[in-house]
């Protein structure tokens, strides 16, 4: 119903504003929920039988972090960026800082890295690429961007908010090609999908997952992930959100507040779609796909057929990050600064710890059995549960 929808939208849109595709300026669009009451009270954490012992391996500080910034791991090197433009490369095993560099400008998206180059996007629409704590090159983009650049194959790929995909030479910043799609007048001020699968560039464009030739941007296949749900501009938002799950040739993704879909990335075909009202990405294992609804309900789907395996309401209204699954573990952070280990078979809590009260800023980054957690205050901690 409209009231329930507004509750869910208010939780997401207060932090993930909607931007006009004209891009001369950024506008907020919360009018549809202007009369919505305060957000529901976060569900209190219940008692549980602790089955894992959590230990802190290392910690460091990067500076305030806000969405849609993310961290990226390449080998043993973890690339970090703060909202005010502080960049850092850290050894994920020891927490030792390799280098740190201050851009002294606010960031709108990042960070992307191939282990050598590190790219971010500033709020003044500049794509900046850095190596060894030195700026290699800067390029002015034609529009805002909220999606971390993809640095791969000697190139830097960018998805701007006017639904343009641009490829640059990683060494010089020379523009190689550009492809643009038309779409609805609004887009999310939230990271979209820009990743790779074999020799394909996978991009979220409106409600479609598109595979492009990375050499020239030519479309190889595209699959509908989400379709418009209504008649007004907000209800038509079906942008794909950052955080995909890939196992072998199966790639699963979420369309904002609409659906979760798994596709065969080899054939470019839809395997299954399930309605799902969430605004954060998904993660998964060989057997299951995991996601969080906008109200904080955790859901597990059968990866092969999309059947619901379990649902948990233990963390409702706690402002969850996208869940992350790796090495047999499932974890999720919340807006109150707690980090939770979840049983992949039933959704029960196995362990939890509070990092700090500022809240978890982004999905945790796995490094083997270690999880690197970044809070909104910029605290970076490596945790392991055995």
Among 364, 362, 314, 299, CA closest to 335: 362
Cα(163)–Cα(207) distance, integer angstroms: 11
Cα(30)–Cα(86) distance, integer angstroms: 31
CB 280 within 8 A of CB 8: no
Percent over 90 (pLDDT), the chain: 83
Q: Which pLDDT tens digit goes with each residue over 97-156? A: 999 999 999 999 999 999 999 999 999 999 999 999 999 999 999 999 999 999 999 999
**74: which DSSP letter?**
E
Cα(307)–Cα(12) distance, integer angstroms: 26
Cα(369)–Cα(293) distance, integer angstroms: 26
163 — phi, psi (to 5°)?
65, 40
Flag the least confident range among 25-29, 132-136, 188-192, 297-301: 25-29
Mean pLDDT for the stretch of residues 349-362: 97
CB 209 within 8 A of CB 197: no
318, pLDDT greater than 80: yes
269, exposed or middle or buried, with CB in 10 Å at 0-12, 13-18, 19+?
Answer: exposed
Mean pLDDT for the stretch of residues 11-35: 36
Among 40, 70, 5, 82, CA closest to 281: 70
Cα(119)–Cα(152) distance, integer angstroms: 11
CB atoms near residue 377 (< 10 Å): 17
Render the burial of 292-314: b for 16+ CB within 10 Å, e for the rest: bbbbbbbbbbebeebeebbebeb
168, exposed or middle or buried, with CB in 10 Å at 0-12, 13-18, 19+?
Answer: buried
Cα-only R_g, the chain: 19
Mean pLDDT for the stretch of residues 185-207: 91
> For residue 270, what are the β-bridge partners?
263
Cα(112)–Cα(299) distance, integer angstroms: 29
Among 190, 364, 186, 189, CA closest to 283: 364
CB atoms near residue 197 (< 10 Å): 15
Cα(274)–Cα(343) distance, integer angstroms: 22
Q: Which pLDDT tens digit goes with each residue over 34-44? A: 334 577 999 99
Put simply, whether the predicted model's pTM sits higher than 0.75 gets the answer yes
């Amino acid at each position: 119903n409209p009231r329930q929808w507004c509750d869910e939208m208010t939780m997401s849109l207060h932090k993930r504003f909607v931007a006009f595709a004209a891009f001369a300026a950024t506008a907020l669009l919360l009018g549809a929920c202007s009369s919505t009451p305060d957000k529901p009270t976060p569900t209190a954490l219940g008692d549980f039988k602790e089955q894992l012992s959590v230990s802190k391996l290392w910690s460091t500080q990067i500076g305030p972090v806000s969405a849609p910034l993310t961290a990226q791991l390449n080998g043993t090197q973890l690339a970090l960026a703060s909202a005010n433009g502080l960049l850092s490369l850290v050894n994920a095993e020891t927490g030792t800082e390799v280098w740190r560099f201050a851009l002294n400008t606010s960031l709108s998206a990042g960070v992307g890295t191939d282990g050598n180059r590190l790219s971010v996007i500033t709020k003044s629409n500049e794509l900046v690429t850095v190596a060894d704590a030195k700026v290699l090159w800067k390029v002015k983009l034609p529009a805002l961007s909220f999606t971390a650049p993809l640095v791969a194959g000697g190139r830097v790929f960018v998805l701007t908010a006017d639904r343009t995909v641009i490829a640059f030479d990683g060494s010089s910043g020379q523009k190689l090609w550009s492809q643009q799609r038309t779409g609805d007048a609004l887009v999310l001020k939230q990271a979209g999908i820009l990743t790779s699968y074999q020799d394909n560039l996978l991009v979220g464009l409106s409600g479609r997952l598109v595979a492009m030739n990375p050499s020239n941007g030519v479309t190889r296949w595209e699959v509908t992930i989400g379709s418009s749900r209504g008649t007004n501009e907000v209800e038509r938002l079906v942008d794909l959100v950052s955080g995909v799950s890939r196992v072998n040739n199966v790639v699963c993704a979420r369309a904002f507040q609409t659906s979760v879909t798994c596709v065969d990335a080899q054939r470019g075909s839809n395997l299954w779609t399930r309605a799902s009202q969430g605004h954060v990405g998904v993660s998964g294992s060989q057997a299951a796909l995991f996601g969080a609804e906008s109200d904080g309900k955790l859901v597990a789907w059968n990866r092969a057929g999309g059947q619901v395996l379990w649902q948990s309401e233990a963390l409702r209204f706690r402002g969850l990050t996208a869940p992350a699954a790796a090495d047999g573990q499932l974890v999720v952070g919340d807006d109150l600064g707690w980090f939770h280990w979840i049983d992949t078979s039933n959704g029960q809590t196995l362990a939890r710890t509070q990092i700090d009260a500022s809240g978890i800023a982004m999905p945790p980054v796995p490094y083997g059995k270690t999880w690197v957690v970044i809070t909104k205050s910029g605290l970076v901690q490596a945790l392991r549960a055995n």
